[in-house]
Structure 1
Amino acid sequence: MIEKKLEGQIWHVTLNRPEKHNAFDAAMIASLGEALQSIPAEARLVLITGNGKSFCAGADINYMRAQAGYSEEQNRDDAKKLSAMFEFIYELPVPTVTYAQGNIFGGGLGILAACDIAIASDNARFCFSEVKMGIIPAVISPYILRKTTNAFAKRYFLSAEVFDAQVALRSGLIAEIVSESNANETVDRLCQSLMSAGQQAQRSAKRLMHAYENFEPMSRDQLIHELAKLRSTEDAQTRMKTFLEKSKK
């Protein structure tokens, strides 16, 4: 259901229900949440992918049938667990990357948007399908709206139209489009670039960006404090020295 492994300081988390297009149910939500909370200390980044033709086609049909029979209290509890899964991704202090192919529908878009950087295949298809079922993309909306505009969300939240990778790129949902044949090379290159950067600096940068995204921008004094704190670290001083030495040549 969920595969996880540490490989070269990358914590690989893979959705593994290819026969169901990696659609999630209650068990998969719990398993993904557990994988995200059990990252080894030595991991420098998290890479989320999906086995098979599709990254994630949203919620499993049988899971949705079960929800239809839930009481309001049961649905509230279920929604809390789903919301927590996306929050686990968003709040991770290390960089998070996802590569998505095939169908990325409903909650699958929540995973993609909660990650820092999303790359998609040129055959990817996206859809906020919720309104077709009489519901809304409620718990994924904060992550979608942090990356896109209200104008984009109004069209695709309300119409449930399927859109392609070019539209996703223009909206800000994804950072790059690649062919499936070049996907591994592109993702590997990005991951190596991320792991070559200063870890403390990355964590601080994520705090800074999250503050702005959550309408709680850091004050000038807080920004000064963050920069001064980082400049005094051994890692930053070593990196600056190396950079300056190279610039002399």
Structure 2
Amino acid sequence: MTLIGRSRTRGVETLSLDAPERRNALSAALVADLAAALTDAGKDTGVRAVVLTHTGNTFSAGADLRDPPAPETLVDLLRQIVELPKPVLARVTGHVRAGGLGLLAACDIAVASHAATFAFTEVRIGVAPAVISLPLLPRTDPRALARYYLTGERLDTAEATRIGLLTAAADDVDEVLAPILDGLRRAAPEALAETKRLLTARVLETFDRDADALTALSARLFASAPAREGMTAFLERRDPEWVV
């Protein structure tokens, strides 16, 4: 059974993260299913753009601590979104945490409802936002990221928009997305692909330069004693031992 819902309207392929009972956490299975769906959309000449959305009240809670994808697999997924020859738009009506923010940053356009919240929670379980930094660092405000990476504080949609994590926020995300999708439907497919290459060149330079080092960092941290304590504490709904 696939963990990705698929539908299409006038050339726009909508892919929905569909594991609401796990808060759409990025498990190895979900990442594999999403990669397969993106591959199909990228090859399909009938697809003009892709909308990435979700079921349930959480876009993605980050890595599935019980069945996490390998760091290099997550790198491949993020790069696939950035390199897809079709614009990818995030449609968010729920909360986004940790690795889910990597998906958001990899998308070309991201729109969220005012009910959404965001947080880089990695430091609170003993790891770092390593792999997801590949699309995040080139696209968001570095001073703001310093604060939110280091503290794990929660952001609302106004702050997420200010720092470049979101394109826009609204009470009705579909009202905002409608004219954007109409514009994409009016654009020549080849022109869209070339324009996207212009916009993503700096992001891909970051992947080329830093992916190996950040993949190794992620693997090392997730295998560390602090991470084991942090993840155990999270699953047991208690503070980890380092909280003072």
TM class by smaller structure:
0.7 to 0.9
For residues 104-153 of structure 1, give each alpha carbon's deviation from its aligned partner in whole angstroms, at most 9, with x where no partner exists: 00111111100000001101110111111111111110211121122122
Counterpart residue number, 1:207: 197
Counterpart residue number, 1:93: 85
Letter in 2 for 1:9: G
Count residues with an aligned counterpart.
202
State how far apart, in whole Å, the 1-side matches of 2:98 and 2:205 are: 25
State how far apart, in whole Å, the 1-side matches of 2:31 and 2:135 are: 17
Where do residues 34-53 of structure 1 align in structure 2 (5 Å cutoff)? Answer: 34-39=36-41, 40-53=44-57
Q: Which runs of 5+ in 1 are unaligned?
A: 65-76, 217-249
Say whether 1:183 aligns with 2:173.
Answer: yes
Shift of 1:22: 1.2
Say whether 1:193 aligns with 2:183.
Answer: yes
Residue among 145, 153, 167 paired with 2:137? 145
Counterpart residue number, 1:171: 163
Q: Which runs of 5+ in 2 are unaligned?
A: 207-244
Where do residues 149-160 of structure 1 align in structure 2 (5 Å cutoff)? Answer: 149-160=141-152
Give TM-score, length-normalised by structure 1: 0.76
Asked if the contact 2:82/2:200 (under 8 Å) is kept, the reply is no
Where do residues 3-82 of structure 1 align in structure 2 (5 Å cutoff)? Answer: 3-39=5-41, 40-63=44-67, 78-82=70-74
State how far apart, in whole Å, the 1-side matches of 2:150 and 2:109 are: 25
Asked if the contact 2:138/2:202 (under 8 Å) is kept, the reply is no
Residue among 75, 78, 84 paired with 2:76? 84
Stretch moving more, 113-122 or 33-42 = 33-42
Stretch moving more, 86-95 or 188-197 = 188-197
SS of residue paired to 1:24: coil
SS of residue paired to 1:63: coil
Give TM-score, length-normalised by structure 2: 0.78
Q: Which has the larger radius of gyration?
A: 1
Same amino acid, percent of matched pairs? 35
Asked if the contact 2:11/2:48 (under 8 Å) is kept, the reply is yes
State how far apart, in whole Å, the 2-side matches of 1:214 and 1:4 are: 27
Q: Which has the higher contact order (CA 8 A, sep 6+)?
A: 2
State how far apart, in whole Å, the 2-side matches of 1:210 and 1:59 are: 24
Shift of 1:214: 4.5
- Compared CA separation, residues 214 and 28, structure 1 to 2 (3 A): closer
